[in-house]
Structure 1
Amino acid sequence: MKKLLLSVLVLLTIFAFISVAAGEEWAGADEQAEEAIKEINPNYEPWFSPVWEPPSGEIESFLFSLQAAIGALLIGYFLGYYRGAKHARNA
């Protein structure tokens, strides 16, 4: 029963997020910061440029998602490892 309620809550949260953000333009924090800086100081010139620029936004999104997935896997692995080690000591 708890799993069902949790699943429904997660689905409602996702649905609410998607419906609220339906008409919005998706932009990264870098782009938003760049726009804010240009509003404050239109003459600002960046002092650093990227070493490598991905050829498209899709590749950039893929690399960001891949980085997040690898991080989540590492965190999940170590949490599971330490939880298993704790259960083995207590058994």
Structure 2
Amino acid sequence: MKHENIILFVIVLIILIVPLALYSGLGEEQGYFGGSDDQGADGVSETGYKPWFSSIWEPPSGEIESLLFAVQAAIGAIIIGYFFGYWRGSVKEEE
């Protein structure tokens, strides 16, 4: 049992260390951590597309934008959780 724990610990260390070694301090400017959102926006801008409207309000910083996104996700999760709970409760009540 003790050898299994040591082997699992070594595997976890390898899983943690390898990505950090591959990262080597390079950032987004060097092409690391670029997502599909960036690639999609670049692809659309290459076509010469001009937006036909602009946002009514833009958050003052990326942190506030992330906060609003998280709040929106939480509200959606609460609503979905309520309906799943309601559905499960009505099924149990019928039994």
TM-score in terms of structure 1 length: 0.61
**Unpaired runs of 5+ in structure 1?**
1-14
**Unpaired runs of 5+ in structure 2?**
1-14, 24-31
CA deviation after TM superposition for structure 1 residue 87, in Å: 0.4
**How many Å separate the matches in 2 of 1:40 and 1:72?**
37
Equivalent residue letter for 1:40: T
1:84 aligned partner:
89
| Partner SS for 2:84 | helix
RMSD: 2.8
- Which of these residues, 50, 68, 71, is aligned with residue 55 of structure 2? 50
**How many Å separate the matches in 2 of 1:32 and 1:54?**
23
Number of equivalences:
69
**How many Å separate the matches in 2 of 1:83 and 1:34?**
42
- Which of these residues, 33, 39, 42, is aligned with residue 35 of structure 1? 42
1:24 aligned partner:
33
When Rg is computed on C-alpha atoms for both structures, the one with the higher figure is 2
| Partner SS for 1:62 | helix
CA deviation after TM superposition for structure 1 residue 38, in Å: 1.0
